[in-house]
Amino acid sequence: MLLTNKVAVITGAAGPNGLGFATARLMAAHGATVVVLDLAQAEPAAAAARIGAGHLGLVADVTDRASCDAAIEAVLGKLGRVDILVNNAGITQPRKIVDISASDYDAVLDVSLRGTLQMSQAVIPAMQRQRSGSIICISSVSAQRGGGILGGPHYSAAKAGVLGLARAMARELGGDAIRVNCITPGLIATDISKGKLTEERKAEIAETIPLGRLGDAADVAGACLFLASDLSGYCTGITLDVNGGMLIH
């Protein structure tokens, strides 16, 4: 197993069909003790219980620095360390550029970008004391393409910001043996996309992807596992595309 005796914290991980939960299950299968962080209405404790005994589910709002700090303090108090952070929490909105309101902008940027910063800030001191750690940030192919299929331009901007933030953290934290990397998923079949695309539209999109299909949550989970494990021990500041070739097409 690749993550024996590791503690992995994953934000936005309670949704049973989401990237975070798929990642949590896979990391647990590889020996990690997993901490599911999510909003109260997502019931993170129940999600952790579905993964198995010994895992932890905590309520945390990544847009609130005090909430981030409290969650990590609870993790350290119970488990003693944090080895892996997956900054997965994010929201999207289908908006045209002229229709993005100030509240739209704040909502999307706060979760995806501010949330990535604040949860990273919460775990970094513990990782520095350990002199080890892996931080994985979930961006999006829309950050690279200048727009996606479901998210508006402010979503692309937020996810592009995640790429820049992760690289800056990688540069700053390398001396502490903390690795920081990004994953840029393409269109993945999760609850975020459920019901928003017809089967005909999905088929049209799949025809434009070199691998000929939409992604599954397990595809992203596997990439997270790689970046969390020692298999990627000399990788930091990278952007790992998990989009079936959508970016090159």
Catalytic residues: 155
Contact call for residues 159 and 108 (beta carbons, < 8 A) = no
Q: Round to whole Å and give the CA distance between 235 and 14.
A: 28
Tell me the per-residue pLDDT of 213-238, one tens digit each, with 9 for 90 and over. Answer: 999 999 999 999 999 999 999 999 99
For the segment 10-22, what is each residue's pLDDT rounded down to a tens digit? 999 999 999 999 9
CA-wise closest residue to 161 among 109, 88, 125: 109
pLDDT in tens, 164-181: 999 999 999 999 999 999
Size of the chain in residues: 249
